[in-house]
Amino acid sequence: MKVCMDHPLHQELLARLERELEVLPDKPDETPRNTLDCLWALVAGHPLALSQVEAAELVELDRAGQERLRQLVASRLANMPLAHLTGRQDFMGLVLLASQAALVPRRETELLGWSVLAKIESTGAARPLVVDLCTGCGNLALAVAIHAPRASVWGSDVSPQAVELARENARFVGRPDVTFVAGDLAEPFDHPDFLGRVDVLICNPPYISSAKVDTMCAEIREHEPRLAFDGGPFGVQILLRLLKDAPRLLKPGGWLLFEVGLGQGGPMHKRLAGLPAFAEVESIRDVKGDIRVLAARRSAIAGVDRPA
């Protein structure tokens, strides 16, 4: 039997979620209704991402299933991220596996992903080499691999758990050729196959100050890896290392693209513009007008490639 909206359990749990669910601004797709439907589908044996649930038909649950659903709703209201309950998350049109092993990909990071695709297109390379540092669950690397199928894509993360999840995601989306390796920032690519050969270097690093991470809401602080957020005392520790390491990897004319936190865009643009290793710097703004992505083109002129 299919469940309709006036099913008593659906009505009861929907009313509870409407009263109590707090949706975080960086997970804007979640509503009480689609949260409930995702959890319902999960109990029925169909783990779905939010983008998939509208088309799904919810089936009647037996008594044990109804109890399990109540528990899941309670867990969500106790700040467990929906993606951790369902094990699924949308990103740039892909459905990915999600878990506590890595950051749940955010909608806002799609700005970086789409900007990367535009730059890949602009390089005109027949088989562009793309490297994604701080890859987490592999969302950016895999979105590039799916949307730019000619690219040869690699990803890395310092967290072995994140790398394992990224590898699972590569199989899950049908791109097992995307290679994920563990290591500290650019170190895994310190090899002649990569040095001076990368067309597009991507990074969504941790960029929140250590003190601020301690004050983040419970849904993030208690469930997602601190490593994914903590950018050191001023939030820019990894960002500054990235600016230093990127020129060695990029080929002349290649692009570095990375995400920044609110308020970091202006100062980072200035810093990049002062580095001789980069010839061109672009600030990319979100719909609210905030700079959230920076793009910098590696200088093509010999002799200006000394690091910062």
Ligand X SMILES: C[S@@+](CC[C@H](N)C(=O)[O-])C[C@H]1O[C@@H](n2cnc3c(N)ncnc32)[C@H](O)[C@@H]1O
Is residue 83 within 8 Å of 107, Cβ to Cβ? no
**281 touches ligand X by CB under 6 A:** no
Tell me which residue has tokens 């000394």: 306
Is residue 153 within 8 Å of 130, Cβ to Cβ? yes
Specify the residue, 129 or 137, whose C-beta has the smaller distance to ligand X: 137
* Positions in 39-58 near ligand X (CB under 6 A): none
**143 touches ligand X by CB under 6 A:** no
Scanning 21-107, the segments in alpha helix (DSSP H) are: 32-43, 50-53, 63-77, 82-86
Distance CA 285, CA 296 (A): 15
> Smallest Cα–Cα separation from 175: which of 204, 213, 132, 217?
132
* Positions in 191-230 near ligand X (CB under 6 A): 204-206, 227-228
Ramachandran class of 79: left when φ > 0, alpha when ψ lies in -120 to 50, beta otherwise: left
**245 touches ligand X by CB under 6 A:** no
Specify the residue, 72 or 141, whose C-beta has the smaller distance to ligand X: 141
**169 touches ligand X by CB under 6 A:** no
> Smallest Cα–Cα separation from 137: which of 113, 102, 161, 107?
102
In the set 95, 140, 277, 294, which binds ligand X (CB under 6 A)? 140
Options 13-21, 56-64, 136-144, 210-218: segment touching ligand X (CB under 6 A): 136-144
In the set 22, 29, 184, 190, which binds ligand X (CB under 6 A)? 184
Binding mask 86-125 for ligand X (x = CB under 6 A): ----------------xx-x---x----------------
Query: Least distance from C-beta 228 to ligand X, angstroms?
Result: 4
Token pair in block for residue 154: 């690699």
Rounded (to 5) percent helix, strand, coil in the chain? 40, 20, 40
Specify the residue, 162 or 272, whose C-beta has the smaller distance to ligand X: 162
Specify the residue, 139 or 299, whose C-beta has the smaller distance to ligand X: 139
Distance CA 196, CA 252 (A): 7
**83 touches ligand X by CB under 6 A:** no
Query: Least distance from C-beta 236 to ligand X, angstroms?
Result: 13
Chain-centroid distance of CA 140 in Å reads 6
**32 touches ligand X by CB under 6 A:** no
**35 touches ligand X by CB under 6 A:** no
Query: Least distance from C-beta 164 to ligand X, angstroms?
Result: 12
**139 touches ligand X by CB under 6 A:** yes
Tell me which residue has tokens 């100050």: 209
Options 29-37, 158-166, 167-175, 289-297: segment touching ligand X (CB under 6 A): 158-166
**158 touches ligand X by CB under 6 A:** yes
Separate counts of helices (H) and strands (E) for the chain:
12, 9
Token pair in block for residue 172: 């899950």
Burial 85-112 (b: 16+ CB within 10 A, else e): bbebbbbbebbbbbbebbbbbbebbbbb
Query: Least distance from C-beta 205 to ligand X, angstroms?
Result: 6
> Taking CB positions, which residue lies at the least distance from ligand X?
136
End-to-end CA distance of the chain: 65
Residues that bind ligand X (CB under 6 A): 102-103, 105, 109, 134-136, 139-140, 157-159, 162, 184-185, 204-206, 227-228, 238
